[in-house]
Amino acid sequence: MKRVQLHRFIDLTSRQETGIDRRQFLARAAAVAAATGMSAEAFARSFAPDAEPIRYPDPDVVVLDKRFRYKLGNTPILRLYRGTLWAEGPAWNAVGRYLLWSDIPNNEQLRWLEEDGHVARRFRAPSFHSNGNTFDFEGRQISFCHYPRQVVRYEWDGSVTVLADRNDAGEPLNAPNDGVVHPDDGAIWFTDPGYGALMNYEGQRVPESATSPRPFTKEAIYRIDVKSGRIAKVADEPFKPNGLCFSPDYRTLYVADTGASHYPDARKIIWAYDVVDGTRLANPREFADMTLDGRAGFADGIRCDEDGNVWAAAGWVGEGYDGVHVFAPDGTRIGQIRLPEICSNLCFGGSKRNRLFMTASQSLYAVFVETRGAHIT
């Protein structure tokens, strides 16, 4: 029996009158786990709305190094929503007090409202199969879309501006993935790994993808000068650059590399670059290796906190790995948040920007932490 099936077993049983008390139920659940070769710990926690409360401190917020001083002893990881096919691109809107995120296969964006926890599906539909989302410093939403393969901005009057659909050589973009905005000039930095052009599920497969892991051009990181409209390639060392974020002082750009999905020589790492004059990248280097206890998954979306730590959505390994990995500024893994699903992306939000929102496959999770996001989204 798979883990998800065991979760459902507990969720359903908690809602039914079974004639056994909780101790008997847990004993039977442990027997099921033993029979299927799984530990009781692997499925003992349910995230169903009416599940038993977790005992504090939350055991799935894990301190690996004393520098991880961000765990709160009296707060739980909560599932805020369940029902997406592949959740991605969370972005916090401080004015509206809502979280926006994407469901790429369903071609829609959703919105979670802070005041009452209400979720509005199809907040934007179609969403151009958007992956990442962010807001510029004028409060306008920016989306990085798999199909059409574009970077778009939603204007105050409801219109949509296409900011980029081709690279600096005039060639079509592969499929933009994630992006961030620089405060000095409003420039938009984004990654173009091309996943949305490799499959119909998350965009539209192009003929070139049948024989190549890249549909059009070499995967790269780009910068859009929003004043002139010019787009420039700033780096292409990562095999498939994915999530990215600036350090608190905007002097370093971190980039997750998920190239191992298609390239056998790619390593599962996070890169770091020096940001030069706010316009160029230099000194590419490995910041962190995603290997933990001999197992290596992918870092996808990443964000920095106010102390310069990098919080990385991680997955594709399994129990004890999938969730969030936290790295100190020197690249040491100092903490983890374990989730029952692959975590694709994350962002800090809430009224104090001290709540970590995590998009994880079919669900949206959140947990309060004792730090704040370095940037507005």
Domain identity same for 17 and 97: no
Greater pLDDT, 236 or 24:
236
Same domain, 145 and 27: no
Rounded to an integer, what distance in angstroms lies between the CA atom of residue 20 and that of residue 213? 54
Q: What is the pLDDT of residues 154-163, one digit of tens each?
A: 999 999 999 9
Average pLDDT of the residues in 16-27: 44
When pLDDT is cut at 50, 70 and 90, the band that residue 18 belongs to is very low
Residues 175, 37 share a domain: no
Would you say residue 30 has pLDDT above 70?
A: no
pLDDT of residue 44: 61
As given in the structure block, the two tokens for residue 116 are: 């009452």
Digit-coded pLDDT (tens) for 273-331: 999 999 999 999 999 999 999 999 999 999 999 999 999 999 999 999 999 999 999 99
Mean pLDDT value across residues 58-65:
97
Residue range(s) defining the domain that contains residue 28: 3-42
Q: What is the mean pLDDT of the chain?
A: 90
Kindly state whether residue 206 falls inside one of the protein's structural domains.
yes
Q: Would you state the pLDDT for residue 26?
A: 44
Q: What is the pLDDT of residue 376?
A: 79
Report whether pLDDT(28) > 90: no
Decide if pLDDT at 81 tops 60.
yes
CB 270 within 8 A of CB 257: yes
Question: Which residue type is seen at 216?
Answer: F
Q: What is the pLDDT of residues 88-113, one digit of tens each?
A: 999 999 999 999 999 999 999 999 99
Query: Higher model confidence: residue 333 or residue 4?
Result: 333
Q: Is 51 within a domain?
A: no
Positive or negative torsion for Cα 198, 234, 270, 132:
negative
Q: What is the pLDDT of residue 13?
A: 33
On whether both 344 and 206 belong to a single domain, the answer is yes
Same domain for 141 and 264? yes
Confidence at residue 4, expressed as pLDDT on a 0 to 100 scale = 40
Per the structure, the count of domains in the chain is 2
Asked, for residue 377, whether it belongs to a domain, the answer is no
Residue 374 covered by a domain: no
CA distance 84 to 49: 17
- Is pLDDT of 1 > 60? no
Q: Give the mean model confidence (pLDDT) for residues 109-138.
A: 96
The DSSP secondary-structure symbol of 126 reads S
Q: What is the pLDDT of residue 338?
A: 97
28 and 103 fall within a common domain: no
Q: Do 332 and 257 fall within a single domain?
A: yes
Residue 247 pLDDT exceeds 80? yes
- Is the pLDDT at 260 greater than 50, yes or no? yes
Tell me the DSSP string of 147-162: TTTEEEEE-TTS-EEE
Give a yes or no: residue 331 inside a domain. yes
Given a cut of 60, whether residue 148 has pLDDT beyond it is: yes
Predicted TM-score (pTM) of this structure: 0.88
pLDDT of residue 271 exceeding 70, the answer is: yes
- Check whether residue 34 and residue 100 sit in a common domain: no
11 has pLDDT over 60: no
Residues 174 and 321 in one domain: yes
Same domain, 178 and 151: yes
Same domain, 9 and 130: no
Tell me 36's DSSP state: H
51 pLDDT exceeds 60?
Answer: yes
